Amino acid sequence: MAKKFFILSLFFILILSCSEKQTTTNKNQPDSKSVVKDTNSNKSNGNDTLLPYKTAVTISHTYYTTIFDTTLYFPVLVKFWLTKDMLTCSNPVKRTDDFKPDPDLSDYTNLKSSYSKSGYDRGHNMDAADNKCDIAGMHESFYYSNMCPQTPALNRGQWKDLEEYCRTLAESYDSVLIWCGSIVGDTNNKIGKITVPISCWKILYIKSLDSTNAFILPNSSDLSGTYEDYEIALDSLQNLTHIKFKK
């Protein structure tokens, strides 16, 4: 019952917020074509259609593509393939913890001061541990264009467990296509310049099984249950995010 109430409340909030966001413009918005680093064999945006985000910039890195909103100051969508080869190596690299601006969008992702002493974690979209076999990928996973503010309860709890589940699937079924992002409601909750999302979501597509699972978790300090309790139908998540997901 609590999960249904959360989804219904979120849907109502997003109807209001998206209708307002459609009219938002940003005179300082950079040209997205000028910042796309198109050198990634795993680059994967292209066919995704974002409807409500008029101030979003697409940037491709070695293993992930981020669509970063320059008004919200967090990525509304990050997409990447997670493969068995990316997780199995004889000498895994150590976590670097070198959080830093994305060099392809440095003016908008210089966000250290906003996160500092905010009470929120710098939550990865593509997890650092997904890049443990490649030092370049590890460094890029710490760009602020890959982060959103998450409560410690979410980031260190159900979100972390879901990240580990993704790696288990990749190791078991060779590859998983992952979309993830965050949703902002009608709240004005901010840390510095960053809007704090009300929920974080993730979609997992297992290619060898042709199966898809979607999850949406509240960005709350009093989460209960496991990530499995927050599974949602893909169609429902597409309606909430206004993003059309294509394999």
Distance CA(98)–CA(155), nearest Å, equals 18
C-alpha distance from residue 77 to each of 23, 90, 91, 171, 243 (Å): 20, 32, 31, 24, 9
Per-residue pLDDT of the chain (247 residues; tens, 9 = 90+): 555 545 544 543 443 344 344 333 333 334 433 333 333 333 344 445 444 567 899 999 999 999 999 999 999 999 999 999 999 999 999 999 999 999 999 999 999 999 999 999 999 999 999 999 999 999 999 999 999 999 999 999 999 999 999 999 999 999 999 999 999 987 789 999 999 999 999 999 999 999 999 999 999 999 999 999 999 999 999 999 888 887 7
Q: Which tokens is 126 given?
A: 């593509």
C-alpha distance from residue 13 to each of 115, 178, 184, 186 (Å): 25, 25, 9, 6
Please give the span between the terminal C-alpha atoms of the chain, in angstroms, as a whole number: 32
Largest CA distance in the chain: 51
Are 52 and 69 spatial neighbours (Cβ–Cβ below 8 Å)? Answer: no
What is the reported pTM?
0.82
Which sequence spans correspond to the domains of the chain?
Answer: 2-244
Tokens 């009300």, residue?
198
Burial of 194 (0-12, 13-18, 19+ CB in 10 A): buried
Q: Which tokens is 222 given?
A: 């009093």
Burial of 242 (0-12, 13-18, 19+ CB in 10 A): middle
Inter-residue long-range contacts of 13-17, CB under 8 Å, 24+ positions, other chains counted: 13/185, 13/186, 13/198, 14/183, 14/185, 14/240, 14/242, 16/186, 17/184, 17/185, 17/186
Q: What is the pLDDT of residue 24?
A: 33
Provide the 10 A C-beta neighbour count for residue 101: 16
Tokens 């169609």, residue?
235
Is the CATH number of domain 2-244 3.40.570.10? yes
Q: What is the pLDDT of residue 148?
A: 98
Q: What is the pLDDT of residue 219?
A: 97
**Sign of the CA dihedral 111, 113, 116, 117?**
negative
